[in-house]
Amino acid sequence: MEQQHRKLLDQIKAARKKLRSSSSFDSALSVELLFEIEQQLSKLVGQIKGSHELRPSSSPSSSLFDPAVSTKSSFEMETQLSKIVDQIKAARKKLGPSSSFDPAFWSSKADILTMDAERMKLYSSLQFREYQEEGGQLSREQWEDVDQKAGERLLESIALARQAKIARDQADKMKGSRFHGIHNAFVKLFNSSKLGFALENAASKGRRRTRDQSMMRDLMKQAYCPGNRLAIWEPVLGTWIDPSSAIAAHLFPWQSADFMEPIFGAGARDELFSSANGIFLHHLIEKAFDRGFLVLVPDTKVEAQNPSTPWEDQEERHKALRGWEMTHPREYRIAVLDATPHCMKEPIFDREVYSLESETLAGLHGRRLRFLNDARPRARYVWWGFLSAVTQLTWKGSFANPDSLIQKEVLKGTRYWGTHGKYVKKNMLLGFVQELGHDVSSITESIMDHAIEEEGGPADPEPDPSGLAIVADQVVRRAQEHDGFDYEAELEHEDESGDD
């Protein structure tokens, strides 16, 4: 019986793979046969598991959970998914490369991104259904926590929805009397290969990325690993590690190079592939850093001496943070913003080898980074990583979790980055403040302390959502790079072949 179960699963997987990338149902396995196999599987699983029913767990907190979808059969979800893919392809072809980028363009772009978010919801539901059919016992919420790809698909769907809102807001803004134009970088971001149609040859871009990344790694080794060509100094663990375990992490994403100067000011782009924009991290630490679970913050006192009366020593703590801006070199430590994910709680480090108090990533909270010389990443790029992490966790709803360290930070009234350093242009920060709102008021109140006032610029500039769009873009890219199914490649292949 178990062998029959496995055979049916393999047949369904093969059929589903064809249907996901096809706009029609002309695959070798007909729709009727797929439906028949799924019916056989349902009966067989019922025999194997007795009274166990294959259905998602009740009301998980995940925003991808949709009761309407959960009641549908796999066949119905596959059919709906295929229709959405058809609609996206048709909308993309109709939109086409545009030079006007008028309100109609941005409205159409918003519609495409909304459909893309819905596609991701359905795709994730199908993945969970397959997990259950194979005997998985976790709830939907637990599965999205334990399975990294599932968790990234969850955030990707949210990021696509945020991109859709930004595009729709752009359309509305262009209709208003206060609209003063749009910078080219914003247009290019919304028309990259991951969010629209490619404007640049992917092969040449890939070759340039490899060359630049290699150059950056060499520059980082010169800056952070003096006197050792065979190993990499990892500042969080405070030891030399094998180069194969070390990631040369970008603090500001290299894919958003066109935004360096609109965000940070003139000359910033020159630092994109420099040691100022990078830090060596153990690959497991880098994954948590990339997903916003942990960040780098100034190594100075931010916790109140008495958490119940944080106002008593608030000025003293703020003074210490402002003093950090004047120090050289500046020291950093780890702050764990979300310790609840499974990957943050499982033991992965040997405490004796790395002189750690805990075997987990969550246990790194408060750990001071150790550098071998005065070389440090630039504060404004480190701060960008913090801002990106806070945004991602807000989208996921992590601030509502009472166990979240960010939530505790808000309650204590502490400010990891209350340094008053001028890092990012004011209009960009206003976009983040508008997005984060009152959920993290302790942080949003201090965000504007880091605003760069442009000489000759308006005193009350319009919020620019470009920074948010970059964060969303990185979330989508990360999820699609880690997912085994390359949806974008399939769409591009079908478009080239002329299928309708």
pLDDT of 60 over the 80 cut? no
Is the Cα dihedral 478, 68, 439, 366 positive or negative?
A: negative
Class of residue 51 by CB neighbours under 10 A (exposed 0-12, middle 13-18, buried 19+): exposed
pLDDT winner (highest mean) among 4-18, 203-217, 356-370? 356-370
Question: Distance between the two ends of the chain, CA-based, in angstroms?
Answer: 42
Q: Answer for the pair 494, 89: CB distance below 8 angstroms, yes or no.
A: yes
CB of 257 closer than 8 Å to CB of 327:
no
Q: Which residue has the higher pLDDT, 132 or 274?
A: 274
Quote the pLDDT of residue 361.
95
Q: How confident is the model at residue 284 (pLDDT cuts 50, 70, 90)?
A: very high
pLDDT band at 27 (very low <50, low <70, confident <90, very high): very low
Average pLDDT of the chain to the nearest whole number: 75
Task: Return the pLDDT at 249.
Answer: 94
Identify residue 371 by its one-letter amino acid code: F
Q: Which amino acid is at 135?
A: G
25-29, 305-309, 359-363: the lowest-pLDDT one: 25-29
Listed in sequence order, the residues at least 6 apart from 7 whose beta carbon sits closer than 8 Å to its beta carbon are none
Cα separations in angstroms, 397 against 77, 90, 165, 274: 26, 33, 18, 34
Q: Are strands 424-425 and 451-452 parallel, antiparallel or unpaired?
A: parallel
Cβ contact 13:490 at 8 Å: no
Distances, alpha carbon 15 to alpha carbons 21, 25, 30, 117, 339, in Å: 11, 10, 9, 23, 39
**pLDDT band of 238, cuts 50, 70, 90:** very high
Kindly state the tokens that stand for 350: 């040997």
Mean per-residue pLDDT for 86-110?
79
Residue 276 has pLDDT above 90, yes or no: yes
Euclidean distance between CA atoms 351 and 360, whole angstroms:
9
Q: What is the gyration radius of the CA atoms in the chain, in angstroms?
A: 24
More confident residue, 178 or 261: 261
- 404 versus 450: which is more confidently predicted? 450
- Confidence bin at 305 (pLDDT 50/70/90): confident
- 500 — pLDDT class (breaks 50, 70, 90): very low
Is the dihedral angle over the CA atoms 304, 306, 310, 312 positive or is it negative?
negative
Angle CA 2–70–28, to nearest 5: 60
Average pLDDT (288-296) is 92
Q: Directed axis angle between helix 148-175 and helix 466-482, to 10°?
A: 150
| Tokens of residue 198, six digits | 């490619």
Q: How many angstroms separate the CA atoms of 133 and 32, rounded?
A: 20
308 Cα distance to chain centroid: 34
Tell me the percentage of the chain whose pLDDT exceeds 70.
65
Are the beta carbons of 217 and 210 closer than 8 angstroms? no
pLDDT value of residue 213: 83
Q: What is the pLDDT of residues 313-351, one digit of tens each?
A: 777 777 777 788 888 999 999 999 888 888 999 999 988
Q: In terms of residues, how long is the chain? A: 500
pLDDT at 23: 41
When mean pLDDT is compared over 48-57, 63-72, 111-120, 460-469, the highest value belongs to 111-120
Which has more pLDDT, 296 or 189?
Answer: 296
Whole-number pLDDT of residue 492: 53
CA-based torsion, 197, 201, 207, 209: positive or negative: negative
Residue 93 pLDDT class (50, 70, 90 cuts): confident
Q: Is the pLDDT of residue 161 over 70?
A: yes
Please state the pTM of the whole predicted model: 0.73
pLDDT tens, 388-422?
988 888 888 766 666 666 666 555 545 667 666 67
- Closest to 435 in 3D by CA, of 399, 478, 479: 399
Of 254 and 491, the one with more pLDDT = 254
Q: Which residues pair with 193 in a beta bridge?
A: none
